[in-house]
């Protein structure tokens, strides 16, 4: 797809992801872009605050006005489990993997140090399975 000559990326505008003074949801460790059924683009910023809380913010993208506007309130997210017992959250890697249905999204994140450098190769979630 990226080698398609019709695929191009254009610089439209930039904007700081700021939802309010001292708000823990400011900024983004990760972003996801998606569109609704009317091809209206949205951006979801995913961030972990210094206190370890995880936040998702939905932004409406106005391409003609060259701006982003927060839709609704920032939402605190609560990761459910950790495989290695360490901190888990958006700071270490996250994404919207699936549009579950017309009214919901599924968010995923990983924990710190899930990637291990071994002989210059990267193992990603490489766990031994019982035989």
* Three-state SS annotation for 56-124: EEEEEEECCCCEEEECCCCEEECCCCCCCCCCEEEEEEEEEEEEEECCEEEEEEEECCCEEEECCEEEE
Range of the domain at 86: 30-124
Tell me whether residue 114 is in a domain. Answer: yes
Tell me whether residue 66 is in a domain. Answer: yes
**Which of the four pLDDT bands, split at 50, 70 and 90, describes residue 124?**
very low
Tell me whether residue 15 is in a domain. Answer: no
d(CA 98, CA 107): 8
How much is the mean pLDDT over the chain? 77
Tell me whether residue 67 is in a domain. Answer: yes
Residue 52 vs residues 9, 76, 112: alpha-carbon distances, Å: 34, 11, 12
Tell me whether residue 105 is in a domain. Answer: yes
pLDDT in tens, 19-76: 888 888 888 888 888 888 899 999 999 888 888 788 889 999 999 999 999 998 998 8
**Residues listed for the chain:** 131
Task: Calculate the CA dihedral of residues 86, 127, 116, 118 and round it to 10 degrees.
Answer: 150
d(CA 93, CA 126): 16
Q: How many domains does the chain have?
A: 1
Q: What is the pLDDT of residue 108?
A: 76
User: Which residues, in sequence order, are CB contacts of 41 under 8 Å at separation 6+?
Assistant: 33, 34, 35, 61, 63
The pair of structure tokens assigned to 28 is: 């983004």
Choice among 2-6, 41-45, 47-51, 119-123 with the minimum mean pLDDT: 119-123
Tell me whether residue 83 is in a domain. Answer: yes
d(CA 73, CA 19): 9
pLDDT in tens, 92-106: 766 666 677 777 787
Reply yes or no on whether the pLDDT at 115 is more than 70.
Answer: no
Tell me whether residue 51 is in a domain. Answer: yes
The pair of structure tokens assigned to 47 is: 């961030």
């Amino acid at each position: 797809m990226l080698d398609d000559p019709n695929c191009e990326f254009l610089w439209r505008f930039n904007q700081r992801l700021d939802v309010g003074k001292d708000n823990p949801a400011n900024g983004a460790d990760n972003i996801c872009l998606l569109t609704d059924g009317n091809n209206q683009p949205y951006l979801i910023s995913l961030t972990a605050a210094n206190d370890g809380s995880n936040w998702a913010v939905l932004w409406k993208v106005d391409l003609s006005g060259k701006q982003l506007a927060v839709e609704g309130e920032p939402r605190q997210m609560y990761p459910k489990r950790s495989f290695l017992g360490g901190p888990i959250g958006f700071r270490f890697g996250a994404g919207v993997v699936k549009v579950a249905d017309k009214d919901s999204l599924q968010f995923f994140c990983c924990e710190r140090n899930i990637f291990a450098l071994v002989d210059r190769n990267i193992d990603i979630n490489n766990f031994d399975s019982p035989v």
